[in-house]
Amino acid sequence: MRRVVVKFHIARAGRIAGNGAFRAHLHYIQRDGVEQDGKGGELYGREGETPSASDFLERSEGDRHQFRIIVSPEDGVALGDLREHTRALMAQMERDLGTRLDWVAVDHHNTGHPHTHVVVRGKDARGKDLIIAPDYLKTGLRKRALDLITERLGPRRDLEIARARHSEVQRDRLTAVDRAMLRDVEVGELVISPNASNEADRFDRSLRLQRLSHLEKLGLATQIEDGRWRMKPDWDRTLADMGRRNDVIATLAHRFGQKEGVERLVSFDSDREEGGKLMGTVLATFPDDELRDRRSIVVEDFEGRQWLVDLGEAELGSTPTEGAVVEVSSRKTRARSSDLVIADIAEGTGGIYSERLHAEADPSSTAAFREAHVRRLEALRRAGLVERQQDGSWTIPDDYLEKAAAFEARRGGGVSLKTLSWLTLEEQVTHRGVTWLDEGHEDKDGSRLRSVRQARIAWLREHELLAPDANTLDAEARGRLRQSEHAAVVARIAKQSGRLQVELQTGDTITGKYERAIDLGSGRVAVIGNAKEFALVPWRPEIERHLGRELVAKRTAQGVSWTIGMSRQRGLSR
């Protein structure tokens, strides 16, 4: 049979964010996708339909979940256009499930392995919650996919299989040979049997020995005696990290046309770097886990060195754009307040948590509050950290808080990311507004930073915003620049939309939609407007969950709060 990798994830809508996560995922797979002709990823659906992302999201409003599927045929290059295969697979899936599915797909050709992202709404043809058996998603769908490809391309020949497996021996990444060996590792050791009953077993033994010889060169395996090997702890994870790094290097080399400098890409570890911080500009962004929208960025520091930074499951809208100035530091991980409550209740109940026990321990707690704790445990259960009993209660281990904190660290990539400026260094040089470059930074190293800083000073002097003997803006000049920048943005929006701008004073409100973010020299602002007027308010990543949704923004003494439905958010204060 032909080989196909099928991955899936059931994404759930948050009570506050609604389908904000659904919107973000569609945005990501379209942005990251590249068609064969080099254009950006294009949504498609069943034959004869031209789906719209906004229409699909509008239909998804109120859905409790969505299914995300990646189909990656080993022979994707031979298939050419993946759409025919995807449509045939989705048609078969509909027959298997007995219902019409509402789905969209995007093909990705920007890696060495063409693959397809499919997003399926969590509703069936009758508008009921779509339930799909886990076994079908894990094995049944993959079997359907390989059946279709084998029917189209014919079965794999023995020579093809041998070549494909042998090609994995020298790869610096986690391979199918490694995964097969991983299943046989016991207490850190792997035994290779000297006996092989047939030609296939002899070939498999030869592959394993060749692979182990390569892993020994990488420092990941050591031969103890004939047929016995000791594997380095986390050797499989190290190989996965190496493969990820190599993929990033290849993509960067392809994008920039050369490998010089890129080959020296280093993974950022705040615990090992002097000072524990990294400052520079974003060279590129990459998906790590395309199903869960885990992201990584490559940061080029001011000396030209390049670093790979794992952001984990970043907040929607918080991933900086290419060219943005950022600061990366270590993230102090800790368990959530809900974890403390769960652990406290379990301590008094012999390691058991349930909504009933929670209500007994805290009679003033609401049903919604207790439900939030159950959702937290569900997330940890999917990560294999806690167990749910048949009666709905939960077994809480003694080291629960440590596990919960580690879970949060993995989700966040172990780093804290601060966007210092959404404008590139080059844009800041001639920007008519107060920029990050105007904050001084004489104490920071880097020839590139010094160069653009001097260019900015020269521009300010040329425009009579800086005295000939001064290097920093005074209060008057800063005020003039901020006023000029704000007036220009307001005038542009007013001209384009024919609306009036509203300056919110303390106590004032505006009802409208969150339309978009605008990058200013001093940071981002959010545009909230309706048919007649608009307002600019401070931007925070949380508002990206509500792009295009109706809200009420109110200016308070502390900043700006907003209300969506019955949920009140306070993420916009300065």
Alpha carbon distance 478, 469 (integer Å): 17
Looking at the DSSP assignment, which residues form a beta bridge with residue 8? 69
What phi, psi does 408 have (nearest 5°)? -65, -40
Q: Determine the pLDDT at residue 251.
A: 73
So what's the pLDDT on residue 290?
74
Reported as a single tens digit per residue, the pLDDT across 152-210 is 877 777 777 777 778 889 999 999 899 999 999 998 999 998 887 788 888 888 999 99
What span, in angstroms and rounded, lies between the C-alpha atoms of 103 and 83?
Answer: 13
What is each CA distance from 278 to 19, 79, 202, 274, 303, in whole angstroms?
34, 43, 50, 9, 11
Q: What is the pLDDT of residue 275?
A: 58
Nearest to 322 by CA among 280, 356, 369, 381: 280
Determine the Cα–Cα distance for residues 378 and 121; give it in Å rounded to an integer. Answer: 21
Q: What are phi and psi of 479, to 5 degrees?
A: -65, -40
Q: Look at residue 549 in the predicted model and tell me its pLDDT.
A: 82
**Chain segment 385-428, per-residue pLDDT in tens:** 889 998 989 999 988 998 888 787 766 656 888 899 999 999 99
Structure tokens at 48: 């004869």
Q: Whole-model pTM above 0.75?
A: no
**In a structure prediction context, what are the per-residue pLDDT tens digits for the chain, which is 574 residues long?**
777 889 999 988 765 445 677 887 888 788 765 665 556 678 999 988 889 988 998 899 889 999 999 998 877 666 777 889 999 999 999 999 999 999 999 998 766 678 899 999 999 999 999 999 989 998 999 999 989 888 887 777 777 777 777 888 999 999 989 999 999 999 899 999 888 778 888 888 899 999 999 999 999 999 998 889 999 999 998 998 888 888 888 777 766 665 555 667 888 876 665 557 899 999 888 777 777 777 888 999 998 888 988 887 766 667 888 899 999 987 766 778 899 999 999 998 989 999 999 999 999 988 888 988 998 898 888 878 889 998 989 999 988 998 888 787 766 656 888 899 999 999 999 999 999 999 877 667 788 898 999 999 999 999 988 888 888 898 999 999 999 999 999 999 999 999 999 999 988 999 999 999 999 998 999 999 999 999 999 898 878 878 888 889 888 888 888 787 544 444 444 3
pLDDT of residue 560: 84
pLDDT of residue 132: 94
The full 3-state SS of 264-311, as one line of letters, equals: HCEECCCCCCHHHEEEEEEEEEEEEECCCCEEEEEEEECCCCEEEEEE
For position 531, what pLDDT does the model report?
Answer: 93
